A = this chain, B = another copy of it.
């Protein structure tokens, strides 16, 4: 019970009638920032748009709210370091303040070259809070690519992890050679024991730089919720990377949609196995703040660390490309730990083979399959589970779950359409078309490449370049990349289907199928395979295995045993394999 209240209230009450007059308070209402191209909302009399009822959507609000509602809850963990939401909020305010003192203004680009360390998390809020645009470079790029992207993005500052300092320095040297003004380099090494190899006095260092900022910094909110918040360069499956621009509005909406599709309750514990530099960690950098969760940061990902962190921190949710699942499934038993509760894991990037889904469940994970592209802020569709599937056999379940499913809450529509006629394909599970997206969580465009933007949006839809079918229940299933599909004797061969069969062979660890030129058939399937340790099998055996499980024309004609080239996010780089297959020449 509250005790005797001695407030100044009785003194104040008579003043209620002295409210500021409407003339004074409404001076700025008519031109408030917001959507007003259409004035149809004014059709009804008595309505206004003002700071009380109209605020540009931005994930910055998630942090501010978390600092209030989840004040003393742990926000970020990295090794022995721990922060609370109130601390993270204060640190981001200081960092934003320091950035603005260094001359960063609205619309400037601030880049990073770092793995999943606490600084990466903080920069996802601090950079937008300074009014700037965050550009998280892939931490596995080489110095040449880094210099290209720094030039293209016109980054004013680049935050660099101490282990990547040499690559960054080389990139800046390359810039100097082309007379491009290099960005200011700020080194991050606070959270690790070892000190950087060559850190000159006078250079900027993350923690001391942050300390120059002020807690009272006034956040530079977006003027419009359509303002850019980040630029994400697509990882190198194409030789020419594109800078995909996200808006505050899209980031806000996709964060919430991802939290929903992940089934994230209040205060989840999220293990960062998805790189934060990849689609801003599928928008969960912001999403975890929305739910006041705890971010467990990991510099690098290994099965041992995954299991240890799950048990130590009671991890509830995590994510990862099929490579991560593969790594977990094929890990040494001594690295695994029994899990006391189901861990929700979202996987995306490419369809997980049924065998891997099945083994993950056995280990105590509940796998949620999603699909999307950098252009759709990461997650766009997910395979929403239906209660009636609970009673199916595990094999049937795995097949259903390997499908890409349906759009999440943030998207307006996902459809499979004929890329020429723009007609929807029938939901027959057979007719292929291109996956197309429409909605608020589709990118604003490719930075400085209006032509590419317009091409991607032609027809009023975002064209994914992925081929899929629509099943009778409406769920979509990716069959291939538009450029990966093999046409053999006039028949389409989905490389994904052939790979799925190969993964079903007990000796196969990894498999990728591409087209090999063929004088007779036009193209034939060529498989690149990596075997599990201790297993031996030859090409003929694998080909026979495929012919037993597929129409004969779909079985590979060639099998090559090799290490598979991957992008930093774990995607197999098929264009490299295609080059290799081409170099083999025609079979006949």
Contact = CB atoms under 8 A, between A and B. Distances in A.
A387 to B, nearest CB: 7
Contacts of A384: 69-70, 266, 292
A474 B22 contact: no
Interface stretch (A192-200, A205-213, A424-432, A533-541): A424-432
A225 B38 CA distance: 9
A507 interface: no
A85 B121 CA distance: 39
A46 B222 contact: no
Contact of A22 (B36, B51, B455): B455
Given A7-B431, A9-B432, A55-B439, A69 B455 contact: no
11 contacts: A6-B430, A9-B485, A10-B490, A25-B454, A26-B454, A33-B37, A38-B227, A48-B445, A50-B457, A53-B442, A290-B409
Oligomer copy total: 2
A46 B492 contact: no
Given A7-B492, A290-B409, A454-B25, A54 B440 contact: yes
A474 B65 CA distance: 11
A487 B14 CA distance: 12
Contacts of A409: 62, 65, 256, 290
Q: Is the interface of A mostly helix, strand, loop or mixed?
A: loop
Contacts of A430: 2, 5-7
A173 interface: no
A106 B1 CA distance: 52
A392 interface: no
A80 interface: no
Contacts of A292: 384
Given A44-B245, A450-B45, A34 B37 contact: yes
Given A35-B224, A65-B409, 12 more contacts: A2-B430, A5-B469, A7-B430, A10-B492, A18-B420, A25-B457, A34-B35, A35-B226, A48-B453, A48-B454, A52-B457, A68-B474
Contacts of A40: 106-107, 222-224, 227
Is the interface on chain A under 10, 10 to 19, 20 to 34, or 35 or more residues? 35 or more
A286 to B, nearest CB: 12
Nearest to A261: B266
Nearest to A49: B226
A189 interface: no
A455 B20 CA distance: 9
A549 B443 CA distance: 61
Interface in A252-280: 256, 260, 263, 265-267
A406 interface: yes
A437 B5 contact: no
A481 to B, nearest CB: 12
Interface stretch (A355-363, A494-502, A511-519, A556-564): A494-502
Contact of A1 (B7, B65, B469, B500): B500
B22 A52 contact: no
Contacts of A68: 406-407, 474
A453 to B, nearest CB: 5
Given A263-B265, A492-B5, A494-B5, A22 B224 contact: no
Contact of A453 (B47, B51, B224, B437): B47
Interface stretch (A95-103, A325-333, A459-467): A459-467
A444 B48 contact: yes
A473 B15 contact: no
A450 B29 CA distance: 13
Contacts of A142: none
A330 to B, nearest CB: 23
Nearest to A430: B5
A174 to B, nearest CB: 24
Interface string A378-412: 00000010110000000000010000001101001
